[in-house]
């Protein structure tokens, strides 16, 4: 824990802006029935409900079940059937007794939702319960509005949904999702920050997050995969090979968009340390494989072998570190030598016959491995295009997160396949938009709507920051003046 670095983060803690939403109505709640309030779009904040009664005096309490849903499919989802491996407590439900009516019930916990399902579980039959109003005190550290962009109504809608996704996740930090996990994760931060540079431009929030990570490295100097900020700032004891390395890329992106050399100089030792520590994971310049879940993230496809993708992430991070060294006039020789060695060793992953990268002892073919190696290598456009082409003729492990789709699109762009990149974006995020998304999801497999790495869908987050990047991709590559940026 580095107090000085955390103090910088503390100084940058943003204020939260409030938006108040009020709905007035008068609706009788009947025992065993549910009333669904639709707030028309997604909010992150505190709910209160006005409740009244008609008839005889309130001679017994009422028991309410209140369920918060980000997506319409959650309304009728049987949450009691969820028995997955991450905690049930993420499910947004409350069971509440109220002894006195009329009253305004103010919920203490912050929720993320568009729909609120209010069910009267029990009450006495001597009086009728009336729901009279619902109010949200919605919160975000963003108060900037941005015009939607896109070539057609689908793209404009994608941009609108992506912008709202980012807005909702901007709280005291960049949260990964306001429903779950409600905390700062490194992989998510990188994509949020990139999108933020082209939209809301809250540079201080990115800087704060960079300092939060810098302040909680472990005893060896490793950047953890995520940070908790309440009740006090604490680094998680989860470390992921790729997430630690992407700290470097996040710092380099920050520098490119702010020119804030002072911050770079301050944080460069921490960035450099991630490359040094990563060396322990290599044998003969090839990343060691592992079967430990989460040793390296890449994507939530649980069948994915991460070895080759991890090598690609290392190369990407090393290239970013070289850029940072150049920007600060530091000697890059050792880093460049290392890049050459690691790239040369990456031939180990290349299957000459198939013309694609393969990963692990079973030589698994996956999109994720090839995407990260394309992003990490220094091959010609044509050679990388050929890899994508070869891959398409084979069957391969797919990807299921908008996070990994983002990197897939970046890889297509790097190969000069801009049209394909754009149509992939339109198709993937468009399918979520057509699925009724107000905000984009943590996970979306167009080929399997029931996909969940957690053993059930009830804990999935439907407003997940790493899915906000169409707002970045559109502005950086596809429309307007920045097209050739």
Task: Measure the CA–CA gap between 416 and 381, rounded to whole angstroms.
Answer: 6
For 41, the token pair is 């779009």
Single out the residue of 258, 155, 187, 194 nearest to residue 474, CA to CA.
155
Rounded least distance, CB 300 to ligand RAM, Å: 7
* Structural element, H or E, at residue 326: helix 307-327
Q: How far is the CB of 86 from ligand RAM (least distance, A)?
A: 7
Per CB under 6 A, the list member of 119, 299, 398, 442 interacting with ligand RAM is 442
Contact 364, 259 (CB under 8 A): no
Nearer to ligand RAM by Cβ, of 224 and 430: the residue is: 224
Q: Where are the beta strands (DSSP E) in 160-309?
A: 184-185, 226-228, 234-235, 282-283, 286-287
Q: In Å, how far from its chain's centre is CA 37?
A: 27
Q: Of 134 and 463, which CB lies nearer to ligand RAM in the complex structure?
A: 463
User: Among the candidate windows 136-144, 160-168, 182-190, 254-262, which touches ligand RAM by CB under 6 A?
Assistant: 182-190
CA–CA distances in Å: residue 470 to residues 149, 197, 322, 434, 485: 10, 13, 28, 15, 16
- Picking from 267, 356, 272, 263, the residue whose alpha carbon sits closest to that of residue 317 is 272
CA distance 387 to 312: 14
| Contact string (CB under 6 A) for ligand RAM, positions 152-181, x = contact | ------------------------x----x
Find the binder of ligand RAM among 178, 187, 224, 470 (CB under 6 A).
Answer: 187
Which residue, 229 or 346, has its beta carbon nearer to ligand RAM?
229
Cβ 453 to ligand RAM shortest distance, Å:
8
The minimum distance between CB 207 and ligand RAM, in angstroms, equals 20
Of the candidate residues 68, 213, 297, 349, the single one contacting ligand RAM (CB under 6 A): 297
Look up residue 87 and give its DSSP letter.
-
Q: How far is the CB of 70 from ligand RAM (least distance, A)?
A: 14
Tokens, residue 24: 């007035």
CB of 261 to ligand RAM, least distance (A): 29
Total residues binding ligand RAM (CB under 6 A)? 8
Angle among Cα 129, 134, 136 to the nearest 5 degrees reads 150
Encoding tokens for residue 14?
């943003």
β-sheet bridge partners, residue 134: 23, 49
Q: Which of 155, 188, 398, 426 binds ligand RAM (CB under 6 A)?
A: 188
- Does position 407 interact with ligand RAM (CB under 6 A)? The reply is no
Q: Is 350 exposed, middle or buried (0-12, 13-18, 19+ CB in 10 A)?
A: middle
Closest approach of ligand RAM to the CB of residue 48, in Å: 28
Smaller CB distance to ligand RAM: residue 237 or 485? 237
* Footprint of ligand RAM on 228-257 (CB under 6 A): none
Closest CA to 205 of 172, 227, 182: 172
Contact residue for ligand RAM among 113, 174, 185, 197 (CB under 6 A): 185
For ligand RAM, the closer of residues 246 and 387 by Cβ is 246
For the bound state, the minimum distance from the C-beta of residue 175 to ligand RAM, rounded and expressed in Å, comes to: 9
Residue 296 or 411: which CB sits closer to ligand RAM?
296
List of residues contacting ligand RAM (CB under 6 A): 176, 181, 185, 187-188, 297, 442, 466
């Amino acid at each position: 824990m580095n107090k000085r670095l955390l103090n910088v983060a503390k100084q940058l803690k943003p204020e939260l802006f409030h938006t108040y939403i009020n709905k007035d109505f008068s609706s009788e709640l009947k025992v065993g029935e549910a009333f669904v309030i639709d707030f028309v779009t997604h909010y992150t904040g505190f709910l209160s409900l006005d409740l009244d009664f008609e008839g005889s005096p309130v001679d017994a309490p009422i028991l309410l079940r209140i369920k918060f849903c980000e997506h319409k499919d959650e309304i009728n989802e049987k949450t009691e059937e969820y028995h997955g491996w991450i905690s049930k407590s993420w499910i947004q439900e409350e069971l509440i007794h109220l002894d006195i009516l009329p009253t305004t019930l103010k919920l203490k916990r912050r929720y993320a939702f568009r729909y609120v399902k209010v069910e009267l579980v029990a009450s006495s039959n001597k009086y009728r319960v009336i729901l009279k109003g619902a109010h949200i005190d919605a919160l975000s550290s963003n108060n900037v509005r941005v015009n939607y962009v896109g070539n057609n109504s689908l793209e404009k809608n994608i941009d609108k949904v992506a912008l709202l996704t980012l807005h909702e996740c901007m709280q005291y930090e960049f949260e990964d999702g306001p429903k779950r996990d409600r905390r700062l994760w490194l992989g998510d931060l990188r994509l949020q920050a990139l999108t933020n540079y082209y939209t809301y431009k809250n540079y201080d929030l990115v800087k704060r997050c960079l300092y939060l990570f810098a302040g909680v490295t472990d005893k060896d100097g490793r950047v953890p995969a995520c940070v908790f900020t309440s009740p006090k700032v604490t680094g998680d004891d989860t470390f992921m090979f790729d997430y630690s390395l992407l700290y470097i890329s996040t710092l380099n992106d920050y520098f490119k968009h702010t020119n804030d050399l002072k911050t770079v100089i301050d944080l460069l030792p921490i960035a450099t340390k991630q490359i040094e520590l990563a060396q322990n994971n290599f044998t003969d310049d090839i990343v060691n494989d592992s079967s430990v879940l989460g040793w390296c993230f890449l994507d939530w496809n649980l069948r994915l072998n991460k070895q080759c993708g991890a090598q690609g992430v290392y190369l990407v991070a090393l290239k970013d570190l070289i850029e940072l060294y150049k920007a600060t006039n530091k000697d890059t020789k050792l880093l460049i030598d290392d890049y050459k060695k690691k790239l040369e060793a990456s031939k180990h992953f290349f299957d000459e016959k198939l013309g694609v990268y393969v990963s692990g002892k079973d030589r698994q073919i996956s999109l994720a491995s090839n995407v990260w190696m394309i992003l990490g290598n220094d091959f010609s456009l044509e050679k990388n295009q050929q890899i994508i082409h070869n891959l398409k003729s084979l069957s391969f492990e797919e990807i299921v997160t908008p996070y990994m789709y983002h990197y897939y699109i970046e890889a297509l762009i790097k190969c000069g396949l801009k049209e394909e990149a754009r149509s992939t974006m339109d198709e993937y995020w468009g399918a979520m938009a057509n699925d009724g998304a107000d905000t984009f999801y943590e996970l979306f497999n167009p080929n399997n709507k029931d996909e969940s790495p957690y053993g059930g869908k009830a804990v999935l987050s439907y407003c997940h920051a790493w899915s906000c990047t169409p707002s970045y991709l559109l502005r950086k590559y596809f429309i307007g003046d920045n097209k050739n940026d």
